[in-house]
Structure 1
Amino acid sequence: MVTDKDGYIHLIQYLTEHLGLFEAPEHTSIGDETVMELFEEQLAAQIIMVCGQNPSLSFAQRNMVIREVDAIVYDLEEILANVAKQNATPEQTLFITEFSGLIKNLFDQEIAKMQASE
């Protein structure tokens, strides 16, 4: 659905280009949430919005969205393995929020294409 699209590949490249943000020695965290917890929380919130904005999605389509999010989280765990358990800094939190919104945009685009072809 989205993980096999060019837009997703570009987002992963965008993340890897900004890995320095996650590997910086400065660890001024703003809360108790780790980098991965924040990614998971933000992605979950975005996907809830996607499903809420598209009530006509079938059960199978919603399951496809959830499987895709699982694949995205797996990719993020692989890419961020060294820093996943560190508490998130304000800069990382901002990046994670932006990145999660971009993931939502990918889903929005794919769902619109799906619905247009029905």
Structure 2
Amino acid sequence: MVTDTEGYVHIIEYLTEHLSLFENANNSNSGETVMEVIEQELSEQIILVCSQNEDLTFNQRNMIIREVDSIVYDLEEILSAVVNNAVSDKQRVFLKEFATLIKNLFDTEIHHLPH
């Protein structure tokens, strides 16, 4: 649905272009890890996707959840060295923006689903 699109490739390229944001990051006192913020931000965006598209079938919603699991796996692979580090404010802002891009990609693909 989403992970096999050109748009997803571009979003992953966008992430890799900004990997320096995750290198030598200042320690944060937030107590949250990079992975926790990824999961939180993606969850919020996917809840929005589903609530804004009430006509999605049960199977379509399950497909979206499977896609999100795949995206989280990809992010874990790309950011494997830092997923357990405390998140910095700049990283949090980037991850929120990244999750919004993922939501936009889902929004686009949902409009191509058969109704």
Please state which band the TM-score falls in when normalised by the shorter chain: over 0.9
Q: Would the aligned equivalents of 1:3 and 1:68 in 2 still touch at CA under 8 Å?
A: yes
Instruction: Write the letter of the residue equivalent to 1:20.
Output: S
Per-residue CA deviations over 1:20-62 (Å, capped at 9, x if unaligned) read 00012422x1511100110000000000000000010000000
Tell me the number of residue pairs that the alignment of Structure 1 and Structure 2 aligns.
115
Please list, as runs of the form range in 1=range in 2, the aligned pairs for 1:1-118 lying within 5 A after superposition. 1-27=1-27, 29-114=28-113, 117-118=114-115
Q: TM (normalized to structure 2)?
A: 0.96
Q: Distance in 1 between matches of 2:82 and 2:51?
A: 32
Task: Give unmatched runs, 5+ long, in structure 1.
Answer: none
Q: Deviations over 1:52-96 (max 9, x none)?
A: 000100000000000000000000000000000001000000000
Question: Which deviations, in whole Å up to 9, do the C-alpha atoms of 1:92-117 show, x marking residues without a partner?
Answer: 00000000000000000000121xx4
> Structure 1 vs Structure 2: percent identity of aligned residues?
57
Structure 2: stretches of 5+ with no match in the other structure? none
Alpha-carbon RMSD: 1.0
Deviation at 1:18, TM superposition (A): 0.5
Distance 1:82 1:11 in 2: 20
Distance in 2 between residues matched to 1:54 and 1:72, nearest whole Å: 20
Secondary structure at the counterpart of residue 15 of structure 1: helix
Residues in 1 aligned to 2:98 and 2:49: alpha-carbon distance in whole angstroms: 15
